[in-house]
A and B are shown apart, each in its own frame.
Chain A
Amino acid sequence: MSNIHVTTKINGDPTEYLCAPDETLLDVLRDRLGMTGSKEGCGTGDCGACSVTINGRLVCSCLVLGAEAEGAEIETIEGMADGDQLHPLQQKFIEHAALQCGICTPGILVAAKSLLEKNPDPTEEEARYWLAGNLCRCTGYDKIIRAVLDTAADLRKAS
């Protein structure tokens, strides 16, 4: 099995890697590039812990082959904060205690950021449906949803 050479852009940085034809983008990120923020929960697209965006589209990186990322622009949780400056969503998650064990958090943050880029003023129902593919077994979701809606309100005020 010969490896495939892939040229891509991750969080704005041009990135090249070699991957096996059947290797997922999640495995590439974690095992080849050392970007372990994206988590593997189920590996079958059910839990959303591995959420990233590819060309602006929210996907589960466990259901994408590394080889498919050729020429694509990928955004991961590692690109969310600006240096030491947390993204407003990250800050709100801390304020609302919207996480406990933290395994689902990177995926939820990436998914919530994608929601607010598409819809700056989501209803609670819209936020819950958008995040239905991100499973959290600790929080019961309420704090997560409140943190997302509170961030959305702040961002609207600031803009």
Chain B
Amino acid sequence: MKIDNSLPLEYSTGQNQINILGFWIFIGAEIMLFGTLFAAYFTLVDRTGNGPTGADIFEIAPLLIETFVLLTSSFTIGLAIHAMRLGKQKAMMTFFGITLLLGLVFLSVEIFEFNHFYHVGAGLQTSAFTAILLTTLGTHGAHVTFGLFWGLSIVLQVRKRGLTPETANKSFIFSLYWHFLDVVWIFIFSFIYLKGLM
């Protein structure tokens, strides 16, 4: 295995570079996944039938918490990668921990919100609108849930093995995933919530 010391650890081997490029290609496919969900959402947003509209069920308080929490977690995972490049494993672990904690807060608020939707009569089968709304939000939420377990296993692995080209590569790829989830949330926040509330 050839290690190039002029590059950050996560890029230091050929395998690592290919892994990162491969993950970008995966993100391309994810963009398309959310693209189709948004296309379906915009088509069905007015098909509310006898159910509520977006303006009836969206609430600003949970939305604000979710947005700021996820935005901050995207910042802290960026700081974690920065600390990793400085070789400061302890700081990196702290930032990773904060990120996962914020992810957990986001998920809790989202579950609370889904519960609220259900109680005001917006279930998965109420109307075409509520179905696509919950599918889109749920797909994003499922990604965050998966990310929490993935991030946790990376924390455990770095703690056990230290910073090696492999663990640094995995941590960096996780950070790409987490930032991507934040990007998706920005679009959900703007074109589902704010557009609905406008």
Partners in one complex: no
CB within 8 Å of A: which residues of B?
none
